[in-house]
Amino acid sequence: MTEKVVLAYSGGLDTSVCIGWIAEQTGAEVIAVAVDVGQGGEDLEAIRRRALACGAVEAEVADARDEFATDYCVPALKANALYQDRYPLVSALSRPVIVKHLAAAAKKHGASTVAHGCTGKGNDQVRFEAGIASLAPDLKCIAPVRDYGMTRDEAIAFAEVNGLPVGTTKANPYSIDQNLWGKAVETGFLEDIWNGPVEDLYSYTQDPAAPREPDEVVITFTSGVPTALDGRPVTPLEAVLEMNRRAGEQGVGRIDLVEDRLVGIKSREVYEAPGAIALITAHQELENVTMERDLARFKKGVDRRWGELVYDGLWFSPLKRALDGFVDDANEHVSGDVRMTLHGGRAVVTGRRSGESLYDFNLATYDTGDVFDQTLAKGFIELFGLPSKIAAKRDLATPRQL
């Protein structure tokens, strides 16, 4: 019986070339699996036909946009997930949903191996293989581009010699990954980190410097989930799509970052994530209004660790699963409205209101009606500073030895 390999297929250069490599090197039949997480551009049927034209014996496509928005983007939003405080995990979030579909396809077709088109320098190889190990530990994983050491120039030449129907050429050398949550661009002239990005790189956002009228939007959250825009009920998918459009029209969400990859090298990436940045900004502000101080302080560390785990490909890990429970519980009262102005590349919060707000006007005001008992402050400060005061007396009495 001929061995079967399930390939994570994007329709791009690397995965199209992988179909031929796998057939040549292993003699296995290749089943291509394409998962739509909101890449845009071509429809799924065109991608399916390309996989077959490149030599796949079967090709499956899955529309996972709702699943991706609800089960992956929403948890990231609840965790305010920004790797290195800036990158909203555009690519990292899509990998576990793709892994789930790969594992399901392998079981359906009786495949023993899952393949992907990642290089040995990137994070995605870890995300795919660690995910498969968690969901289907009996499956083997191969990465033809990495394992055979073919460079991008060689992959382009392979595609040209074999007449593969792919659009990447030597004149268009960028590596692009995109989905509902944003777009990532790397390689080419961007590898010189002194080179500035050019306007042609961007497609999710318009030039933030171009003159235009501001856009004001009111985002409604229910327990951390966006449920309405300007009073109109929306699903998570609809919320992301509309905020991508509206924030993108104002140039919001452009990120130029030299980031720390999991494999230990630094990499320059240019991202566009208009909806993600606008929604995270609004969600963070609503947390400020509704979340108790110590919980909010502790959650910032949890958010950072959550983002690192997802970036590192550990979506299905026990720690990530446990942190999900904390993040969900912490978001229980994060409900209300946030008003934002989108303009000039920025998403600026201008108003917030919530039936679960911890902001008390009568305690906060300095005007008539103030109910805060200021006489309590003196004793509070004495007790609050007492440990430091005692330590200071000791230190003054016992000079440090140099």
Q: Give the residue numbers marked as catalytic.
A: 14, 95, 124, 175
Select from 331, 342, 354 the least CA-distant residue to 220. 354
Q: Does 12 belong to an annotated binding site?
A: yes
Question: In the structure encoding, which two tokens stand for residue 231, read together?
Answer: 């009073």
| Burial readout 261-290 (b: 16 or more C-beta within 10 A, e: otherwise) | ebeeeebbbbbbbbbbbbbbbbbbbbbebb
Structure tokens at 218: 């009111």
Output the six-digit token pair for 8: 């994570």
C-alpha span between 286 and 354 (Å, rounded): 8
104 is in an annotated binding site: no
Integer angstrom CA distances of residue 92 from 69, 82, 314: 13, 11, 10
Q: How many whole angstroms separate alpha carbon 364 and alpha carbon 342?
A: 28
Q: How far is it, in rounded angstroms, from Cα 201 to Cα 175?
A: 11
119 marked ligand binding residue: yes
Q: Is 14 annotated as a binding residue?
A: yes
Structure tokens belonging to residue 267: 């990499």
- In the block, which residue shows the tokens 């979340």? 291
Annotated ligand binding at 87? The verdict is: yes
Query: Residue 13 annotated as binding?
Result: yes
Nearest to 175 by CA among 166, 162, 184: 184
Q: Is 394 annotated as a binding residue?
A: no
70 is in an annotated binding site: no
Q: Establish whether 11 is an annotated binding residue.
A: yes
* Residue 179 marked in a binding site: no
321 assigned to a ligand binding site: no
Q: How many CA atoms lie within 13 A of 61 on its CB side?
A: 19
Report whether 15 belongs to an annotated binding site.
yes
Closest by CA to 69, choosing from 204, 231, 234, 233, is 234
Cα 82 from Cα 84, distance rounded (Å): 6
Q: Find the helix or strand (DSSP H, E) in which 342 lies.
A: strand 336-343
Q: Is 175 annotated as a binding residue?
A: yes
Residue of 320, 294, 353, 349 lying closest to 76 (CA atoms): 320
Q: 48: annotated binding-site residue?
A: no
Question: Which residues fall in the annotated binding site?
Answer: 8-16, 87, 117, 119, 123-124, 127, 175, 259, 271
Question: Which residues fall in the annotated binding site for L-aspartate?
Answer: 119, 123-124
Question: Which residues fall in the annotated binding site for ATP?
Answer: 8-16, 117
